[in-house]
Amino acid sequence: MPHCRERVIPQEDSMRIRRIMLFLICILICPLSRVWASEGGTPQWWCRNGAFADDQNDLHLAKVAGTKRVKFHDEGPDDGPPNASANTDPGLRPGDRVVVSKLRGGWACVYKNLDASGWIRESDLTLLQFDTKPAIKAWAGKWDDGYGNTIAFKMTRDGKRLLAIGEAIYETPEQHHTGSFTSTAEPDGNKLQITTEDDCHVQMTLVADRLVVSDNNECGGMNVSFTGVYAKKKHAGRSR
């Protein structure tokens, strides 16, 4: 029988192969990173439910102006401006209140609920005033993102800080992962930063009756994230 010998790659060749692989990876990643850097991790013309909360630098509250329904516009190709023609989804009704995460080039990235978010023309909106220095009690209560993730706030005894408790889940027929955080922090105006010993970082902004949340994807198991827009859960009335 022929004798087979295992071929050992010399160390110099191994290092050369590693450098080539790193170079190829850089070629693939670098162009994409330049696009993402413009929005701190999210392409600048993305406006979709899952990425809406990533940009919290200039959040607004607004209502839909006019007397007709406003349709959403599809995202443009190659991270470009939205398409001029509106798509066929139900869109928004006059007077609907929305949270705005981006105002760019005459377009507004808006969120109403899980089924209604995307680009509309800025001219179809009227910006509203909201309290950017809310009383700490405005945070208190339990908030829900509609996907099963919750964040609860309780005021500390000194009335200046909040105990924040977050619970998140990612579940499919094949996977079940959870995440959580517990931390105490003091709001800065309508913003709150949470950092835990497990390197979980959560950024929150209170916009009227909506809580915009993003994290660093280090707050739980695989695919678990607190990122989203939360509404305060209403307590059911007590039965007699």
Locate tokens 């022929």: which residue? Answer: 2
Domain positions in the chain are: 49-128, 136-232
Closest CA to 214 of 153, 149, 161: 149
Rounded to whole angstroms, how far apart are CA atoms 15 and 19? 6
Q: State the architecture of 49-128 in CATH terms.
A: Roll (2.30)
Rounded to whole angstroms, how far apart are CA atoms 210 and 111? 10
CB 211 within 8 A of CB 61: no
Tell whether the model's pLDDT for residue 28 goes beyond 70.
Answer: no
Q: What is the pLDDT of residues 63-121, one digit of tens each?
A: 999 999 999 998 888 778 888 887 877 789 999 999 999 999 999 999 999 889 999 99
Q: Which amino acid is at 81?
A: P
149, burial (CB in 10 Å: exposed 0-12, middle 13-18, buried 19+)? buried
Q: Which amino acid is at 154?
A: K
Tell whether the model's pLDDT for residue 6 goes beyond 80.
Answer: no
Beta bridge partners of 220: 179
Whole-model pTM: value is: 0.79
3-class SS string, the chain: CCCCCCCCCCHHHHHHHHHHHHHHHHHHHHHHHHHHHCCCCCCCCCCCHHHHHHCCCCCEEEEECCCCCECCECCCHHHCCCCCCECCCCCECCCCEEEEEEEECCEEEEEEECCEEEEEEHHHEEEECCCCCCCHHHCCEEEECCCCCEEEEEECCCCCCEEEEEEEEEECCCCEEEEEEEEEECCECCEEEEECCCCCEEEEEEECCEEEEEECCCCECCCCCCCEEEEECCCCCCCC
* pLDDT confidence of residue 12: 52
Q: What is the pLDDT of residues 33-68, one digit of tens each?
A: 333 333 445 678 888 766 789 889 889 999 999 999
Question: How long, in residues, is the chain?
Answer: 240
Question: Does residue 77 or residue 235 have the better pLDDT?
Answer: 77
Question: Does residue 54 or residue 186 have the better pLDDT?
Answer: 186
